Structure 1
Amino acid sequence: MGGGAAAGTPNPIPNPKLSSLNPNWAQLQQKLKTGRPHKPFTPTDADAKTLKASVLGKRKERPVSEPEASPPPFLTPTSSDISLTNVLAMDCEMVGVSSQGNKSALGRITLVNSWGNAVYDEYVRPVERIVDFRTKISGIRPKNMKKAKEFWAVQKEVAELIKGRILVGHALHNDLKVLLLSHPKRDMRDTSDYEPFLREGRRRALKDLAAQILGVKIQQKEHCPVEDARAAMFIYNKYKKEWEKTMKKRFKSKEKLKNRRKKKSEAASKPDVSRDLS
């Protein structure tokens, strides 16, 4: 091949027709020859707003969502130990029986140990026909009755488990009532009755105590007896030392009063020997 111009960017060939039609063409060609670098475009804030408006049009800008607060911690057992401890917490869920379903009967019962592990959890088939499962609160459904235990069997098992043990719960009198059981008062630790938990002498809901003392939310929708029993147990554990001290003083004073009355009664029943001698 024959020689030619040196390698590089080829010079643009002027077009006489374009030059005659547009007087600025020659000036443009001259600028291209000089090879001056093109200044990069840096958008200003005003340009950015204009661009955004053109893209979004009349759509409203979505507000920047703030980061959500971390969800409250769940109530989890503090150990994997599933043994029976000297302290058990109990919670029951009720269903409606009788003709109108306004009478409560036991539908599910849970016992947890000191670590919060369930040691007993059973659905219960009441003696009377269930009219209202109260699912929105109890969480109990008709399908749960397929494997439910008979009431009398559950009552016997629970009575054996709680015998001789400290029983923790919230409004325990309601749970014991549907179980048709009793428990020594000195062995009951009811979070609804404990004086430091009262507000102006009134009982508070378990969910309020759990939120304040444990920093967790429970009973958001359907109640879970495992969760409720666990909450009662953990609340008790936090105040165990002070609580047991209070109970010891209370029953010690009651015992003294009982002994005094007994002595007075015995003294009154003894015959007056001095009168007989006279």
Structure 2
Amino acid sequence: MSNVKPNKSASAATAKAGQSGKKGNAKERKRSWMQNKHYAKKNKPPPKDPGKPNIPPKDAQEFSANWKQLLGLLKDNPPEKKEPMKQSPALKTAGPLTNPPKDTSKNHTTHTQSKTIKTGENASIPNKLVPEDSQVNVNGPAASNQPQSKAIKRKQEGGKTFSDHTTKKKKVAPEEKKPTEADLWFDDVDPDDVEEAFGAEAADIMRKKKGIQKSSSKDTESALVKERAFEGITRAVAMDCEMVGVGPDGEDSIVARVSLVNQFGKCIYDKYVKPTEEVIDYRTPFSGIRPEDIVNGEEVLTVQKEVADILKGRVLVGHAVHNDIKILLLDHPKKNIRDTQKYKPFKKEVKSSRPSLKLLSKKILNVDVQKGEHSSVQDAQATMRLYTIVKKRWEADIRDKYRKRESYKEHKKEAPVPGEHV
């Protein structure tokens, strides 16, 4: 096939014939298509060499026709040079700027209309950037008759720009929202627990809803001690001891204070005990004992003898009282011991197998004890008050228990031994 350039008139006639809906000769259309394809292939630009970098053209022949036209246009009509900005005479006569000059030893920036010029010891101002006629204040913004931006004006007037607000954001502390009665919708929670979790205001709201008042030390004493009552030794006495830690790591215990109260809650005995060993842990948050309390205390042998004389032939009331008896190296008949920790009706009422004195006092007496440092006198009073509430029932149960035991022993004695003749 000969190299023939495509005929524009022929292609236009073919297009016109196609628009009118007439079908041309298939052979002629194929030949025209082949000619166009051959022409496009022949005039295709050579592929780029991947090894050569893309560099701008240097020879005039390599420039495109548009670039040549642009160069020719620039030669014919060269751009006009802008005259340098001159300072207005008003600013020249106004004197120095109101802003105080800054320390020129530090590097800082000078703002002009379109350039930012660094000045200082390690920087110089090029002559090309700064016109000769203009006066530049190296300590502040350029003094020219051009209007300054609003941000620079606010900076000069002492205000803050948008960048200052974005970089230095004030941290506003969230306001603590006080609880309201609608927030405390629950009813089966102890107000003291609410006070520990949410504060005193929430606890006061809970007490108001329940119709109770906050207990004080006077209220506690009045609930545990009977006024104008007998202050001597009664048939039943309650005892409580405070201990301190000795030995390795303060794990062992010795007695530091012994307190006894009578049936009406009146204190009949209260003494600090001088330690027989070096005290490692005073356990002050729980015992309330401090070094000055026991350094001049009573001798332990004296305290043992005095307590033993008081307990002789009497009912001993206490909470986990076996620990107090053990620490004093004493012995007491089991039938005369009333331990509030082991009393089954108390266990059932508070739903605990080993209830604490604090729990029993709160649930049964509605009295708060052992808040902060413990007091052996107050603990003994709370134990005695628990005992006196159920005293009749408890003593009746004890009598029935020992009566059944005695009758069982008598029945066992009277019963014939197997193998013996009556």
| Aligned counterpart, 2:340 | 191
Whole-angstrom CA distance in 2 between matches of 1:170 and 1:151: 22
Whole-angstrom CA distance in 2 between matches of 1:79 and 1:143: 32
Which letter does structure 1 place at the counterpart of 2:334? K
| Aligned counterpart, 1:220 | 371
> How far 1:259 moved relative to its partner?
2.9
Whole-angstrom CA distance in 2 between matches of 1:99 and 1:93: 19
Question: What SS does the corresponding residue of 2:316 show, helix, strand or coil?
Answer: strand
Larger radius of gyration: 2
Residues 75 and 231, structure 1, Cα contact 8 Å, conserved in 2: no
Tell me whether 1:110 sits opposite 2:259 in the alignment: yes
Equivalent residue runs for 1:43-192 within 5 Å: 68=204, 69=207, 70-72=213-215, 73-76=219-222, 77-80=225-228, 81-192=230-341
Q: Once the two structures are superposed, what CA deviation does each residue of 1:120-173 show, in whole Å capped at 9, x if it has no partner? A: 001112332222111110000000013311111101100000110011110011
Which letter does structure 2 place at the counterpart of 1:104? S
Residues 97 and 131, structure 1, Cα contact 8 Å, conserved in 2: yes
| Aligned counterpart, 1:209 | 360
> How far 1:101 moved relative to its partner?
1.3
> How far 1:263 moved relative to its partner?
4.7
Change in CA separation of 1:192 and 1:62 when aligned onto 2, cut-off 3 Å: closer
Structure with the higher strand share, 1 or 2: 1
What is the identity percentage for the equivalent residue pairs of Structure 1 and Structure 2?
41
Question: What SS does the corresponding residue of 2:273 show, helix, strand or coil?
Answer: strand
Q: Once the two structures are superposed, what CA deviation does each residue of 1:161-206 show, in whole Å capped at 9, x if it has no partner? A: 0110011110011110101111111111110011101145612001
Residues 168 and 188, structure 1, Cα contact 8 Å, conserved in 2: yes
Which letter does structure 2 place at the counterpart of 1:250? K
Change in CA separation of 1:212 and 1:60 when aligned onto 2, cut-off 3 Å: closer
Whole-angstrom CA distance in 1 between matches of 2:409 and 2:330: 25
In structure 1, stretches of 5+ residues that fail to align are 1-58
> How far 1:227 moved relative to its partner?
0.6
Whole-angstrom CA distance in 2 between matches of 1:236 and 1:256: 27
Question: What SS does the corresponding residue of 1:100 show, helix, strand or coil?
Answer: helix
Change in CA separation of 1:253 and 1:201 when aligned onto 2, cut-off 3 Å: farther
1:241 to 392, 410, 414: 392
Whole-angstrom CA distance in 2 between matches of 1:61 and 1:135: 34
Change in CA separation of 1:99 and 1:195 when aligned onto 2, cut-off 3 Å: same
Q: Which segment drifts farther, 124-133 or 229-238?
A: 124-133
In structure 2, stretches of 5+ residues that fail to align are 1-173, 181-200, 208-212
Change in CA separation of 1:143 and 1:250 when aligned onto 2, cut-off 3 Å: same
| Aligned counterpart, 1:28 | none
Equivalent residue runs for 1:28-43 within 5 Å: none
Q: Once the two structures are superposed, what CA deviation does each residue of 1:188-244 show, in whole Å capped at 9, x if it has no partner? A: 111001110114561200101100111111111111011100000011111111111
Change in CA separation of 1:126 and 1:259 when aligned onto 2, cut-off 3 Å: farther
Question: What SS does the corresponding residue of 1:122 show, helix, strand or coil?
Answer: strand
Residues 91 and 225, structure 1, Cα contact 8 Å, conserved in 2: yes
Which letter does structure 1 place at the counterpart of 2:399? K
Let me know the Cα RMSD of the aligned residues: 2.7
Tell me whether 1:254 sits opposite 2:397 in the alignment: no
Whole-angstrom CA distance in 2 between matches of 1:172 and 1:101: 22
How high is the TM-score relative to the length of structure 1?
Answer: 0.70
Which letter does structure 2 place at the counterpart of 1:75? E
